[in-house]
Structure 1
Amino acid sequence: MAAPRVIGLDIGTSAVRAAEVALAPAGKRVRAGATLTRFGSQPLPPGAVRDGEVAEPEIVAGAIRRLWAEQRFSSKDVAIGVGNQRVIVRELDLPWMPPDQIRAALPFQVQELLPMPIDEALLDYFPTGQSDSAQGRVMHGMLVAAQRDTVRANVMAVESAGLRPLMVDLSAFALMRAVVRGQYAGRVVGVVEIGASTTQVVVAAHGVPRLVRTIPLGGQQVTTALASRLGIAAPEAENLKREAGIGFQAPPELQSAGDVISSVVTGLVEAIRNTFVYYQGNHPGAGIEGVLLTGGGAHLPGFGQFLASASRLPVAYGDVLADVRVEKAVAPMIGDGMGTMMAMPLGLAYGAAA
């Protein structure tokens, strides 16, 4: 019997990316027997996706259609993600009840907690554990509440491309699945994905998400600031960003660029550091042991060292392909640093298989 296959489709600000994974036979762990059989990406023009939400469905749909035509994915069934500032994720304890009853009761349990009308929200609950209290058994978990319009826009783009979105997952959970494994599965780690316009931060303890935050800053804001303040075109600003980096002693000709980069990146790093401080303040004795970076923006020269210095935590790139077999036809498409760009579609695929 052929191994079952799942496809994760990531709709990012600068590109759409998809990964097709063949899974191990039933009864074995997903990642331990996962094989990457297809992978591809298609660029998106500025403005097609804004702040993690599809703004131009037909443009995005066209990019997805080209991606499917080029890579010849085996199915039109996909798992997609959603994650921006209009998606709320917070810890929530509930009286224990079966999963189907939890979903039915959520609107009544959380309507006072949300900054949006309950009929405009899509709700889900991710259990993380349970305990006994004087009032009875308690379910611990994370509430996920997304604006319907945010989810609808992404789903419409996928359907317009002729695909079938079988699952809409929280991007942060997908990110955690792809990165927190092996030696990190039993530790408390922070996962940081720096995208074009947003940065996702997830704190996972022993493979379970404990805190999720979306920061409205990414690599694109650095490029835009350089282009605006130095009066140069965006492609030139992008190249200059990679040349100057952050945290280095810049030569005179790069000093102005270094100052601009520092002004933006320092704000992002402070937001990440404050997220870690908040978590550790609320979880004494269970501090974060390290940070794993993914996303294109994480490859800004010097960023990892800069974040490590600010957070006083060891920082490394997340290796999402460490225990994934890669078929020969796909291997040439995976260059240096591409592994960190694949975290989201791979994590979405793993979620669809769970």
Structure 2
Amino acid sequence: MAFSLFSGRSKVVNIVINDHSIRYVELKQKNPAVPLRFGQRFLPPGVISDGKIQDFDTLENILDECIEDWKIAKREVRFIVPDSLVMIRKVSIPADVKEDEIHGYLYLELGTAIHLPFEDPVFDIVSLGTEGKQQEVLVFASPEKYVTEYADLFKAVRLKPIAADISPLAIYRLYRQSDLAHSSEVLLSVQFDLDVVSMCVFEEHIPVFMRHIPGDLKENWKVKWSKGDSSEQEMVYEGEISELTFQLEDIYRDILKLMDFYRYSLSQGKKEVTKILVNGDHPMLGRIIADIKEQLEVPVDTLTVNIPGSEQDSFPNSFHLALGLGLKEVQ
């Protein structure tokens, strides 16, 4: 999916910005996905909140420094729209609306037959088929104001935005390329980041339901220089472990509630989640994966990406999202 603000294609960098970090990946090759270069920079608190830019000037200055350090000046860029700014909705429209007319039809029906929780959306669609006089389309929407603000940020630092994407689709591309996906499964993708937990249900490779849990998971996490490496930073927890445990347990319960909602409300008991995919940048992701395996009693998959010729055991989980973004084809 590409929000319809951009066009063009060439060798690009892939950037993911969330409330606490900026990450980039440049691919050496796409199949299999092999990263060429990657890097990250942690952000001060308050620069971005719930996906919305609060201090544009500070963010611009930091991104400008990143571009110089990473040597990606004047490059084309794909970026992720923060999950908190994205919604997925299934919409029924008349069967006689042609494919190239669907966008225009949806715009005309906004606010009357079609209701979104924000004004002036930018969106993309996936056709789900026709039955009788109706056809179903899946609408991915986000407020144009915020998508444009991120595009303006990249333009301000002399990058060229060519595509915006959403995290579930980016991760699913990597999952599918890893030969883990099956059309018969119902997959719950859980992106467990430090500032938000995003969940998306896939049926037959298509995302049909998305929900995110905003949280204050960043509380008591501090940026520190890595021991033995003065050039690398990491997030270190300085609070009470019991408090962190309570936070995680609350999120596990929310994941279970979403699974029950999907099973009993969305699919009327006809379908249920058959597999969970867990990814994210949370520093305790290993423990989180173990907890989910133990508590939710559903098979759990994770992503592993190896870098040929590298001394690293595998590519860091926190960069998987940017890597999956790099698999996107720009129309």
- Label 1:19 to 1:98 Cα distance change in 2 as closer, same or farther (>3 A): farther
Question: What CA distance in whole angstroms lies between the structure 2 residues aligned with 1:159 and 1:266?
Answer: 41
Query: 1:143-180: per-residue Cα shift (whole Å, max 9, x none)?
Result: 12212332133222212211111112223322322334
Task: Judging by fraction of residues, say which structure has more helix.
Answer: 1
Q: Is the 8 A contact 1:16 1:42 kept in 2?
A: yes
- Label 1:149 to 1:176 Cα distance change in 2 as closer, same or farther (>3 A): same
- Label 1:290 to 1:121 Cα distance change in 2 as closer, same or farther (>3 A): same
Question: What CA distance in whole angstroms lies between the structure 2 residues aligned with 1:280 and 1:298?
Answer: 31
* One-letter identity of the residue aligned with 1:278: F
Question: What CA distance in whole angstroms lies between the structure 2 residues aligned with 1:92 and 1:160?
Answer: 36
Query: Could you tell me how far 1:341 is from its partner in structure 2?
Result: 1.0
Residue 326 (structure 2) aligns with: 349
Residue 103 (structure 1) aligns with: 103
* One-letter identity of the residue aligned with 1:184: A
Q: Is the 8 A contact 1:47 1:56 kept in 2?
A: yes
* Selected match of 2:25 from 15, 19, 23: 19
CA RMSD in angstroms comes to 3.0
Alignment of 1:258-273 (within 5 A): 258-273=241-256
Residue 41 (structure 1) aligns with: 40
- Label 1:327 to 1:6 Cα distance change in 2 as closer, same or farther (>3 A): farther
Alignment of 1:31-110 (within 5 A): 31-73=30-72, 76-96=75-95, 97-110=97-110
* One-letter identity of the residue aligned with 2:164: V
- Label 1:352 to 1:219 Cα distance change in 2 as closer, same or farther (>3 A): farther
* One-letter identity of the residue aligned with 1:100: D
Question: What CA distance in whole angstroms lies between the structure 2 residues aligned with 1:72 and 1:316?
Answer: 35
* Selected match of 1:198 from 183, 196, 204: 196
Residue 188 (structure 1) aligns with: 186
* Selected match of 2:297 from 312, 328, 333: 312
1:156 maps onto 2:152 in alignment: yes
Question: What CA distance in whole angstroms lies between the structure 2 residues aligned with 1:18 and 1:236?
Answer: 16
Normalising to structure 1: TM-score of the pair? 0.76
* One-letter identity of the residue aligned with 2:243: V
SS at match of 1:350: coil
SS at match of 2:245: helix
Q: Is the 8 A contact 1:77 1:165 kept in 2?
A: yes
Residue 5 (structure 2) aligns with: none
Alignment of 1:143-292 (within 5 A): 143-181=139-177, 182-186=179-183, 187-217=185-215, 219-221=217-219, 223=221, 238-240=236-238, 257-281=240-264, 282-283=266-267, 284-292=269-277
Query: Could you tell me how far 1:349 is from its partner in structure 2?
Result: 2.0
Contiguous gaps of at least 5 residues in structure 2:
1-9, 223-232
Residue 3 (structure 2) aligns with: none
Query: Could you tell me how far 1:44 is from its partner in structure 2?
Result: 1.2
